[in-house]
Amino acid sequence: MTESFQETINKIREAFGQPESFIPLHEPRFRGNEKKYLNDAIDSTFVSSVGAYVDKVEMMLSQIAQTEKAVATVNGTAGIQIALKMVGVSEGEEVITQALTFIATANAIKHNGAVPVFLDVDLDTMGLSPDAVSNFLEEFGEIRENGVYNKKTNRRIAACLPMHTFGFPVHLDKLILVCEKWNLPIVEDSAESLGSTYRNKPTGSFGTLGVFSFNGNKVVTSGGGGVIVTNNHSLAARAKHITTTAKIPHPYEYVHDEIGFNYRLPNLNAALLCAQLEQLDIFLKSKRELASEYQQYFSKSGIHFRTELPETTANYWLMCIELETRKERDLFLSASNSAGVMTRPIWQLLTRSAMYSSCQKDEQKNATFLEDRIVNVPSSAR
């Protein structure tokens, strides 16, 4: 372990007031009405997919995202799958996305029977690059009567799915212009960016639909869960219908008008999430304070700490540093984890996974650079 690594580990321990015990990467904080609301849900006997807390979650998320509608789902992956389906993604079609992302982004595409096209990210956002999308479409795109097609594969390109990496928003203005030129709907994978904004507008509200995740390691959690947000009332109604087994409303009859999905968020999970959402601003403030401390320390140590861009507000879900080389990255990962301070590398590019290795991709120059250097450090609200 080098002296510089030990200094960084000591700083992380100091930041969390934990001189010896294990420090996780990101753990939830339950300091509000979690137990009260859970007990209330249990007492109501509505513990499954119907209940007051499901309705309340949808109302709260539409307010936070500044959208007119929200639809709760069992997790973020299911939410993305349905959101893509809502914009017309069908079997055998293509969706443009990034290879530098959690695997759920690509899995949601495949769950629709569609095929991901992996394009590069920007170095500053670590998210899908509008220039990469534009370059790809200029080379391979062809506008036909019923949409834009990939000249290489002859498949229709049905949507664009950017992911806001670690809560840092992609360059949305530029991406929207590119997608409008090619008439491509945008679905925002906002799983990691609850509380982040781009030009003072919440992420998730820019695309036709956006999707948040509430897994146990997110800024706020329902244990598992997701929410689709949109300003399109008809798409929201259809998403609600299809995620609740496509059951036609009736006081007692079970009649279903199409093959639907059992992707409903249980009321128990919604109760937990309501209590967490009440504390969102507190958690975000705490995380920003931690990010500021990290930034001051790392700027003096010569290590690049990733910060928000001027036109954005990041939620600092997972904070990260950029090391000089892959070797230095690996040495730091080994030293910190051996010392009981949990750190992890950014994801391996999905194009290296057996399931996605044959998918079309571009050079991935920026994504490879980041894959070799980015490390997440402990980021929990304190």
Q: What's phi and psi for 189, nearest 5 deg?
A: -85, 90
In the chain, the domains with their CATH numbers are 3-27+280-352+358-377 (3.90.1150.10), 34-277 (3.40.640.10)
Helix axes of 76-86 and 233-243: crossing angle, nearest 10 degrees: 130
pLDDT of residue 49 exceeding 90: no
Question: For 53-106, what is each residue's pLDDT tens digit?
Answer: 999 999 999 999 999 999 999 999 999 999 999 999 999 999 999 999 999 999
State residue 1's pLDDT score.
42
- Beta bridge pairs of residue 144: 147
For 313, the token pair is 């507000």
For 317, the token pair is 């879900």
Q: Once rounded to an integer, what is the mean pLDDT over residues 5-25?
A: 96
What burial letters (b/e) apply to 148-184, b meaning 16+ CB within 10 Å?
bbbeeeebbbbbbbbbbbbbbbbbbeebeebbeebeb
Rounded to the nearest 10°, the torsion over CA 233, 237, 242, 246 is -160
Question: For 293-349, what is each residue's pLDDT tens digit?
Answer: 999 999 998 999 999 999 999 999 999 999 999 999 999 999 999 999 999 999 999
Question: For 221-239, what is each residue's pLDDT tens digit?
Answer: 999 999 999 999 999 999 9
Q: Is 66 exposed, middle or buried (0-12, 13-18, 19+ CB in 10 A)?
A: middle
Q: Quick check: 163 and 125 in contact, CB under 8 A?
A: no
Q: Once rounded to an integer, what is the mean pLDDT over residues 131-149?
A: 97
Question: For 190-217, what is each residue's pLDDT tens digit?
Answer: 999 999 999 999 999 999 999 999 999 9
CA angle 286, 54, 165 (to 5 degrees): 45
Interatomic CA distance for residues 33 and 73, integer angstroms: 22
Percent with pLDDT over 70 in the chain: 99
